Amino acid sequence: MTRRPSRLHLILIPLSLVMVAPLIWMVLLSVSTRDEARRFPPGLPSGVDWHNYVTAWTEGPFGTWLVNSAIVSLTCVVTNLVFCSLAGYAFARIPFLGSKVLFIAILATLMVPIQIIMLPMLIMLRQVHLTDTLAALMAPNLATPFGVFLLRQFFTALPRELEDAARIDGASRLRTLRSVLLPLMGPTLATLSVLTFLNVWNDFLWPLVAVQSPQNMTIQLGLQNFQSSHYSQVSVLMAGTVTSQIPVLVMFVLAQRFFVRSIASSGIK
């Protein structure tokens, strides 16, 4: 067979361009001058105006917002890994009283989005003086029903013999989990980490409801707040938008396969 360029490129190239165009346009606007960003018909910037980034960073505490987002997302990743592993293991392996009922109750909350529970959450958090704090942002995501479900599936599929030897040697369940099963859980935990991180990092509605002070905002809420005061400074707004997307974008480009596999496995039923 002779290999010549596939005709599929003729579809793939325009397709890719359409998908990437909005992001390229964002970057181009972010280095345009104010007049270049506001003309018709629109066109390429004549040079690279980095000044917009300086302006964006002096006018919006993007650093604080990024750090807040990182704190909130990473905390939720860690708590999900620990708590969901424990619960997933117990639901899969330990025959304890009420396990079925509990598991079904937890699964039922899979269908409850934040929109439905945000008002009582707000009232609850106020009563313990936690509104407008990073802790409030973490609360709904500290343990997710999806994580419990994912880990339970994993343990159910695992051969029982693996842990039996350790159990017969008298190791406690916790010890077995830590020393025998943990090394096998890598890919599943990685999946849970990626999905939890993306979810919490990109969350918008709950931060919008739970936080008012600029210093407690996450990057998404901060960006929206920044937008509302920079409507007419398109280039500066875009510089802020690029700033807000860079961390996850870089992670994605570096670890594409990893992201894709995680997202694909959220489709397992």
Partner 1 sequence: MPARRRRLRAGDHVSGWAFVSPVVILIGLFGLVPVIWTFWLSFQETDLTSPGTFVGTAKYSKMVHDPVFWQSARETGLYTLMFVPLTMVLALPIAVLLNQRVRGMLFYRMAVYVPLVTSTVATGIIFSQLANPDFGLINGALSKLGLPQQMFFQSTSEALPSVVAMTVWGWLGFAVIIYLAALQNVPGELMEAAALDGCGRVQAFRHVELPMMAPASGFLLVWLTINAMQLFDEVYVTTKGGPLHATTVLVYYLYTQALVNFDGGYGAALGVVLFLLILVVTLVQLWLGRRTSHYEAK
Partner 2 sequence: MKHRRGRIFAAATTGLALAALTACSSGTSSSAGASKITMWHGYTDAEAKEITLLGKQWNAVHPDQQVELIFNGGNDGTLQKTLASFVSGKTPGVAYEYGSSVATLSKRSQTDDVTSLIRGTASFRWDDFFPAVQQAATVGGKVYGVPALVDNLSLVYNKKLFDAAGIPYPTATWTWTDFQNAARKLTDPAKKHYGWAYVNDGTEDTVWRYIALLWQAGGDILTPDNTKAAFDSPAGLQAMQLLHDMSVTDHSVYLDPGDQSYQSLFNGGKIGMLWTGPWDLASFDKVSYGVQILPGKLTHATISGPDNYMLFGKDGQQTGWAFLQWLTSPEVHLQFATATGDLPLRVSETKLPGYQTFLAKYPANKVFMDNLSLNVTKARPNIVQYPKISAAIGVAVQSVLLGKATPQAALDKAGAEVDQILAGN
Q: Taking CB within 5 to 8 Å according to partner kind, which of partner 1, partner 2, none is near residue 215? A: partner 2
> Minimum distance between the CB of residue 232 and partner 2, rounded to whole angstroms?
4
Cβ nearer to partner 2, comparing 60 with 140: 60
Read off the DSSP letter of residue 241.
H
> Minimum distance between the CB of residue 67 and partner 2, rounded to whole angstroms?
10
Contact call for residues 243 and 57 (beta carbons, < 8 A): yes
Nearby residues of 144 by Cβ (< 8 Å), 6 or more positions away: 80, 84, 196
- Can residue 235 be called a binding residue for partner 2 (CB under 8 A)? no
Distance set, CA 229 to CA 45, 203, 233, 240 (Å): 24, 21, 9, 12
- Can residue 132 be called a binding residue for partner 2 (CB under 8 A)? yes
> Minimum distance between the CB of residue 210 and partner 2, rounded to whole angstroms?
8
- Can residue 59 be called a binding residue for partner 2 (CB under 8 A)? yes
- Can residue 239 be called a binding residue for partner 2 (CB under 8 A)? no
Cβ nearer to partner 2, comparing 195 with 237: 237
What separation, in Å, do the N-terminal and C-terminal C-alpha atoms of the chain show?
41
- Can residue 6 be called a binding residue for partner 2 (CB under 8 A)? no
Stretch of residues binding partner 2 (CB under 8 A), selected from 59-67, 75-83, 184-192, 248-256: 59-67
- Can residue 55 be called a binding residue for partner 2 (CB under 8 A)? yes
- Can residue 226 be called a binding residue for partner 2 (CB under 8 A)? yes
Q: Could you count the other beta carbons within 10 Å of the beta carbon of residue 120?
A: 9
Q: Taking CB within 5 to 8 Å according to partner kind, which of partner 2, partner 1, none is near residue 132? A: partner 2
Contact call for residues 37 and 49 (beta carbons, < 8 A): no
In degrees rounded to 5, what are phi and psi of residue 233?
-105, 75
DSSP 140-209: GGSS-HHHHHHHHHHHHHS-THHHHHHHHTT--HHHHIIIIIGGG-HHHHHHHHHHHHHHHHT--HHHHH
Which chain residues interact with partner 2 by CB under 8 A? 34-35, 38-40, 55, 58-61, 63-64, 122-123, 125-126, 129, 131-132, 209-210, 212-216, 225-226, 228-233
